[in-house]
Amino acid sequence: MIKEISLGIGLAGVIFLAISGYDIVPILFLFMAAGILFYVARSRGMLTKSFNATPAANVSKVNFEDIGGQATAINELKEALDFIINQEKIINLGIRPLKGILLTGPPGTGKTLMAKAAAGYTESVFVACSGSEFIEMYAGVGAQRVRQLFQTARDTAAKLKKDSAIIFIDEIDILGGKRGQNTSHHEYDQTLNQMLVEMDGLKVNDKVRILVMAATNRVDMLDPALLRPGRFDRQVKVDLADKSGRLEILKLHCRNKPLSDDVSLDEIAKQTFGFSGAHLESLANEAAILAMREECTEIKQHHFLEAIDKVMMGEKLEKRPPREELERVAVHEVGHALVGEKVRPGSVSMLTIAPRGQALGYMRQTPENDSYLYTREYLENQIQVLLAGSIAEEIVLGNRSTGAGNDFEQAIKTAGQIIKSGMSELGVVDPDILPADLRYKVISSIIKEQEKMVKDFLGSLKGAIKQVVNVLLTEEKINGDSFRKLINRFNIEATDLTA
């Protein structure tokens, strides 16, 4: 309304001057110049930034009960949020309330979801933004947006008669990166400095109590001043869920889905080691899509197993390699599977020659348990499995192919992990100062030793490999149980597989 009135008064003034005989060309020029400047400033984001401020009452109802596999992180977060709820106890005990909570962890683990649940838990105004919204090439714009962010939280809370607000900044590493790294201009540093000033200004007796929450998966990039006590007082680790956590997440995402009686979510949770909450949500969704494609009224176990492959590797490709190349892929995957059963019986979950993503075929193993520490024996066994594909090609077909390139990269990386962990013949060393030729020598020694063991094992199984390959070429995909039945049918002795 004020803009319209001002525009009307200005236009009336120009008309009056024109009637009075004054030259209005300079005035019109000034108006046009001002309009152009206003348009450029607005399009470039130099004007005041408006943020997404939504009261908790209007946010989609997200509760901590809707977040699975993060019991430890939720409990730690609730304790920090109680400072907002129990203000009188805080004042009586002379406690300084927490000003900031930093959520760290891999992508897709539920950091943003936990921030939304925190707003609902405290019945606070929730203001959300991303770190990239503060960065502009124009000096002072980022700092202005930081001030506006905090002011938006206070104004919205006052308008809605709330006494608390939560500001959530996603990907804060863009805003809060270490100062002095951008030498071209100081806009990044000015923006961070303003953020530090605003957080320092938060008081326990403010009319609107503000808690700053932020999320990042690169905490190592943040400026130390942002992480000291009095700013982000606590870091809450939102990590990948373990097996029981994955099962909990799967149950949450399958609440609204009709499941067949043959579905075992416990088995799906076991086969999805390393999956984040986002991966598991996509897995449940893809399983439902596969059921819809087959016009099924319920989601079955094989839909979930197919969805695991799709989430890990991508959709099946239409391209079909020539018969000769397909046979080589089958030999390669059977080699992986046989050695996989050798190092850990019962671990092979699936082998297929159906192309997905960048892979022409693959063999998937089921983790026995979620493991976070590895022995040298375990790592050497992993190297054996990685080398088995190309060695099987050499034994059966007489030569190797480029299909094992990624396997070799992973084998070299695993051998490097043996050195880094002090489990090689070198003992405890610093890999960064280790001479390149010595590192190469030790890695080659580790890989050659495992290569010899795989050759000795697969060399006596050439006929069995060919027979399993024929079945795989016909069936295209073999699950773990069927693969083990084939091993027994072709008289591969159990002692051969566990030697």
The tally of domains found in the chain comes to 4
Please give the C-alpha separations between residue 358 and each of 24, 56, 312, 354, in angstroms, as whole numbers: 68, 44, 11, 11
Q: Tell me: the pLDDT tens digits for 65-112?
A: 888 888 888 888 888 787 777 777 777 877 777 888 999 988 888 888
Structure tokens at 495: 């002692």
Q: Tell whether 288 is covered by a domain.
A: yes
Q: Tell whether 318 is covered by a domain.
A: no
Question: Token match 């006494």: residue?
Answer: 163
Q: Tell me: the pLDDT tens digits for 199-226?
A: 888 776 678 888 889 999 888 888 888 8
Q: Tell whether 143 is covered by a domain.
A: yes
Supply the pLDDT for residue 136.
60
Q: Tell whether 441 is covered by a domain.
A: yes
Residues 391 and 484 in one domain: yes
DSSP per-residue string spanning 28-83: HHHHHHHHHHHHHHHHTT-SPPP-EEEEGGGS----GGG--S-HHHHHHHHHHHHH
How far apart CA 443 and CA 239 sit, in angstroms, is: 32
| Domain with 27 in it | 2-43
Percent of the chain's residues with pLDDT above 70: 81
How far apart CA 113 and CA 103 sit, in angstroms, is: 11
Tell me if 423 sits within 8 A of 374, measured CB to CB: no
Residues 69 and 200 in one domain: yes
Domain ends where: 204, 237, 270? 237
Catalytic residues: 333
Residues 61 and 188 in one domain: yes
- End-to-end Cα distance, the chain: 85
Residues 131 and 274 in one domain: no
Domain of 61, CATH number, reads 3.40.50.300
Looking at residues 263-277, what average pLDDT do you find? 89
How far apart CA 115 and CA 101 sit, in angstroms, is: 10
Residues 68 and 87 in one domain: yes
Question: Does 145 score more than 80 pLDDT?
Answer: yes
Please give the C-alpha separations between residue 326 and each of 331, 353, 486, in angstroms, as whole numbers: 9, 7, 20
Supply the pLDDT for residue 3.
55
Domain of 366, CATH number, reads 1.20.58.760
Residues 93 and 146 in one domain: yes
Supply the pLDDT for residue 200.
83
Domain ends where: 237, 263, 282? 237
Question: Does 439 score more than 60 pLDDT?
Answer: yes
Tell me if 133 sits within 8 A of 33, measured CB to CB: no
pLDDT band for position 174 (cuts 50, 70, 90) = confident
Supply the pLDDT for residue 48.
46
Residues 426 and 391 in one domain: yes
Residues 229 and 253 in one domain: no
Residues 134 and 215 in one domain: yes
Question: Does 184 score more than 60 pLDDT?
Answer: no
Tell me if 72 sits within 8 A of 109, measured CB to CB: no
Residues 334 and 462 in one domain: yes
Supply the pLDDT for residue 291.
94
3-state secondary structure of 334: helix
Q: Tell me: the pLDDT tens digits for 334-363?
A: 999 999 998 988 888 888 888 877 778 888
Residues 290 and 382 in one domain: no
Tell me if 102 sits within 8 A of 201, measured CB to CB: no
Question: Does 393 score more than 90 pLDDT?
Answer: yes
Burial class (CB in 10 A: 0-12, 13-18, 19+), 230: middle
Residues 305 and 437 in one domain: no
Look up the pTM and report it. Answer: 0.74
How far apart CA 359 and CA 312 sit, in angstroms, is: 11
Supply the pLDDT for residue 371.
66
pLDDT band for position 494 (cuts 50, 70, 90) = very low
